[in-house]
A = this chain, B = another copy of it.
Amino acid sequence: MGTDGTTIAALMSDPRSRDSNKPACQVCELPLPELEPDSALLRVEFSEVCGTDVHLRNGLLSGVPYPIIPGHVSCGLLEKVRGTVRDVEGRTFVEGDRVTFLDVHRTCHACWQCLVAHATTRCPDRKVYGITYGIDDGLTGGWAGHIYLKPGTRVISLDGVPSETYMAGGCSLTTALHAVDRADSASGDTVLVLGSGPVGLSAIALATLRGARRVLCIGAPDARLSTATAMGADGVVNFTEVTESDRATWVMDHTGGRGADVTIECTGVPAAVTQAMRYTRDAGRVVIVGQSTDHGETSFNPHLDLNKKHLEMRGCWGSDYSHFHRSVDILRVPGVAARWSAIKPDRYPLSRVDEALDLVANGKVIKALIIPQP
């Protein structure tokens, strides 16, 4: 924490102008904002480092107004509220409340995407705290002592949900909930999850909770696959140790030779999209949620992999408020929340965010939490 009227933050510089001898982020002291009406100041308890933050450091995302304070999904205590900030059920927040918030701001509810297509995650006006809001927009990232919750930010009470449990899921949980909704598995289905990163792990738990009879996971490394098992996977395979053809055989062996009823791709690897099609049964469904940035192309055979299979593929982009709200609701069930305690996040102070980025980039940790308070 800074001196009176200031806070500290890890500021990420522009990759194009970055001095490669220096870390990507530097801790600095920033003034606390004057609050606009119906806004609030959040004292950050936890923020997180996710794959998106690695992309941010590597300059792989468009529309990022560097320098920025990274950290999109975060939680903490409302330190100051000016005017009225309400939850969606009309309850007024008071200072001291422990909360999280939808990291997406300014969904316009006034454009064709929002109002005609009802595809709000494709609204061009959206700004995301910690990603497309930069330092010029204020204290808009979670790798800081405080976040300025601008008017219109959708705040959610964490009452009944431990902060750590919530952050063990974090942005991956809401993304996975969107993907599992879109996968629309039936009670008793076999669900295959490709990828054992945070999104894959939450998808495993949510698919199990939705009534899958069997959840399979292909991922790596072994430590993550152990977590996958702890979160509900009935079978796991380390793709670094098993050939693609043997992986296909393994899936067929577990699915009566037909392939998974539903496959959820959470890998970030283009070739996995093609594999997802091949590992899924005829007339099954594939959700693609792991291709959050551009890693190039993949090829497939549209006759064999899609048309003749009568297959359905669904891209899944972002999350909206409902996924955050329902994620928190789901974690309010004690037995359910316990699943996410299998993820043991490592904790890093602001001074070590570059190290945390390295570990996430290399898959050395499952989840890295940032603890900005000294």
Q: How far is the CA of A152 from the CA of B108 in the complex (A)?
A: 11
Query: A2 within 8 Å of B by Cβ?
Result: no
A296 and B289 contacting across the interface, CB-CB below 8 Å: no
How close is A368's CB to chain B, nearest CB, in angstroms? Answer: 24
Query: A351 within 8 Å of B by Cβ?
Result: no
Query: A315 within 8 Å of B by Cβ?
Result: yes
B154 and A188 contacting across the interface, CB-CB below 8 Å: no
Q: How far is the CA of A91 from the CA of B119 in the complex (A)?
A: 20
B154 and A115 contacting across the interface, CB-CB below 8 Å: yes
Query: Which of A8-16, A71-79, A203-211, A357-365 has 4 or more CB atoms under 8 Å from chain B?
Result: A203-211
Residue numbers in B under 8 Å from A186 (CB-CB): 181, 326
Our pick among B294, B297, B330 for the contact of A188 (Cβ within 8 Å) is B330
B325 and A315 contacting across the interface, CB-CB below 8 Å: no
Residue numbers in B under 8 Å from A214 (CB-CB): 333
Query: A307 within 8 Å of B by Cβ?
Result: yes
A181 and B187 contacting across the interface, CB-CB below 8 Å: yes
B322 and A115 contacting across the interface, CB-CB below 8 Å: yes
A294 and B283 contacting across the interface, CB-CB below 8 Å: no
Our pick among B116, B282, B300, B312 for the contact of A117 (Cβ within 8 Å) is B282
Q: How far is the CA of A14 from the CA of B169 in the complex (A)?
A: 55
Q: Tell me the residues in window 273-323 of chain A with beta carbons closer than 8 Å to chain B beta carbons.
A: 273, 281-283, 288-304, 306-318, 320-322
A301 and B308 contacting across the interface, CB-CB below 8 Å: no
A325 and B111 contacting across the interface, CB-CB below 8 Å: no
Q: How far is the CA of A224 from the CA of B201 in the complex (A)?
A: 37
Query: A18 within 8 Å of B by Cβ?
Result: no
B187 and A209 contacting across the interface, CB-CB below 8 Å: yes
Given the interface contacts A298-B299, A302-B273, does A308 sit within 8 Å of B326 by beta carbon? no
Query: A19 within 8 Å of B by Cβ?
Result: no
Q: Tell me the residues in window 169-216 of chain A with beta carbons closer than 8 Å to chain B beta carbons.
A: 177, 180-181, 186-188, 206, 209-211, 213-214
Q: How far is the CA of A57 from the CA of B341 in the complex (A)?
A: 54
Given the interface contacts A289-B307, A301-B297, does A326 sit within 8 Å of B282 by beta carbon? no
Q: List 11 A-B contacts (CB under 8 A).
A: A88-B116, A89-B256, A110-B154, A116-B325, A119-B310, A210-B211, A295-B303, A298-B302, A306-B313, A307-B317, A311-B315
Can you add 13 more A-B contacts, CB < 8 Å, to A188-B330, A282-B317? A88-B110, A89-B111, A187-B330, A188-B329, A213-B330, A270-B301, A273-B302, A288-B302, A290-B307, A291-B302, A294-B301, A297-B301, A313-B314
